[in-house]
Chains A and B, each alone.
Chain A
Amino acid sequence: MSTAESEMLQRDREADPVGTINVFDPHPLNWLFITWNTMEEPIRTDHDGYITMALAESATWRDETTLEVKVRSGVRFQDGEPCTAHSIKHDFDEVQKWAAPHPPGTHLNFHPDAECVVEDDLTCVFRLPEPDGLILGKFRGFHIASSSFWHNHGFGYKKTGSGEGHW
């Protein structure tokens, strides 16, 4: 890309999304990449692969078994529904229904006795029966969806009648 094109892109960043690209991705994890390109999680990874906040504005340990998550203000799903702490709680309750929701395995599961409690629209707290030093990494596979997603699709719900292995 030329310098002139790069300068023009800099100006375009102030404007609406523009352009279309066609992508060929034979990677066996394409299903996951599509998910990560269309859904949000409390955290993401940056270009170097390091965890950075996404839907969560912060994730702070109040004590060894209590993780406070502050949700970013003003986020909306594609259908216009606001994304709040209630969305996080709802999706947590959904994922906890399943024994092995994540294809890579049960190690991504939250503890079966963990709870998510909403304190206000932008604050939820994860109460864990024991310390979980890996929970932020698990958030990478904790996809947050709008109500209409759960009503119309769910992770495998409509197509297979089960969420096992479909998160």
Chain B
Amino acid sequence: MAIQRVRPEFVATNIITGEDRTPRVVLEANRDHNSGRTARLEQVVFVNDLSPAEALDAVCDREGEIDIVTEVSPADARRVLDSQFARLVTIDANRMLTGVFNTYEVNDAPLQDVRMREALNWAVDRHRIVQEAFAGYATPLAALTPTWCNGAVAELEPRRRDPARAKELADAVGWPEGRALRIAADASLEGIARMISADVQDALGIASEIIAVPADEMVAGARALIEKKLVPPWDVLLNPWFDLSSDNPAAFVHREFFGHDGAFRAGPPDPEFDRIFAELARTIDVDRSRALAEQIDRYVYEQSKALFLCAPNALYAVNRHVDFKAYRATFELADTEVSAEHWSRQDE
């Protein structure tokens, strides 16, 4: 557990340090269920003793072994599309890829200045990242709220790369001579970090140092970020996140990145953000709540509170006889069905 604060209120986040999965987890239908989402399948078996590559082979190349593979990489989408046994199911998921700015005063990179943060947002080509790093399976973001969620601001457009505007803003602030922009990312995001680095070099003439965080250092890095006692060694951290619903992204996303109790806040608290959020947290009127959620997303956009990138799709490889309906905020199977041609029904 990473304890962020004890007084006046206790604030903490639990850090998952490992998974202890059994080889199989078997779910059986509750036939007496009565909540309007009665299971259509008799049994769901989660298979945990395959590698992702083995699982993808099993769903794409044959039947009877694996019926759904989640978290298909965009790089593997074509293989699924070309499969005779599987189809590709995609959905605009409630997932966000964002760069957290280190805005602590002791950081000598001038990210405390909104102009420098905005310069980086103009410098980076999020549309190219979507097309090249995600093969088009993502949506560029203006700020943190995807357009399909409550609280999205209709007139906010994802910034289109504008190197001249970026340079003008950055020059007005000034970047320390010879100081590299330190971009941290876990190994899976290192390629995107390099795309950002190239854009920043091209637009602003600022070189970057990519800090690829090894898997065995991720827990320590997460703890330091959450507890906020140690200043991070990076300027920008590529941080994938998600939302539990589409109703109020400010509660689970914006607050986590910028709130006084946010796990990913990497700088001093922002009184204006906290003021708006506090009002939202106490508002039970739906219309007022939506207006405040929009105000929050507009505020973080105008303040360039983060390096806003994109909302990656969720990709699934699904056996051709399985009717799976994807969810934006979760992975649920209650309404998944199989046809009579499915391998599990051949004894009927």
Contact = CB atoms under 8 A, between A and B. Distances in A.
Interface stretch (B170-178, B266-274, B328-336): B328-336
Interface string B176-217: 000000000000000000000000000000000000000000
A45 B39 CA distance: 16
A23 B49 CA distance: 11
A20 B43 contact: yes
A13 interface: yes
Contacts of A76: 30, 32-34
Contacts of B322: 1, 21
Interface stretch (B10-18, B74-82, B115-123): B10-18
A26 to B, nearest CB: 5
State the main secondary structure of chain B at its contact with A: loop
B155 interface: no
A5 B341 contact: yes
Given A105-B263, A131-B282, A132-B281, A45 B329 contact: yes
A105 B348 CA distance: 47
B236 interface: no
Nearest to A79: B30
Interface stretch (B64-72, B133-141, B301-309): B64-72
Contact of A50 (B25, B242, B246): B246
Interface in A51-80: 51, 54-55, 61, 64, 72, 74-78, 80
B67 A22 contact: yes
A54 B245 CA distance: 14
B160 interface: no
B1, B68, B323, B339: residue with the most chain A Cβ atoms closer than 10 Å? B339
Interface in B11-43: 11-14, 16, 19, 21, 25, 27-43
A48 interface: yes
A104 B341 CA distance: 41
Contact of B32 (A8, A23, A26, A80): A80
Interface of A: 1, 5-6, 8-9, 12-13, 16-34, 36-38, 40, 44-51, 54-55, 61, 64, 72, 74-78, 80, 99-100, 102-107, 130-134, 136-137, 140-141, 164-165
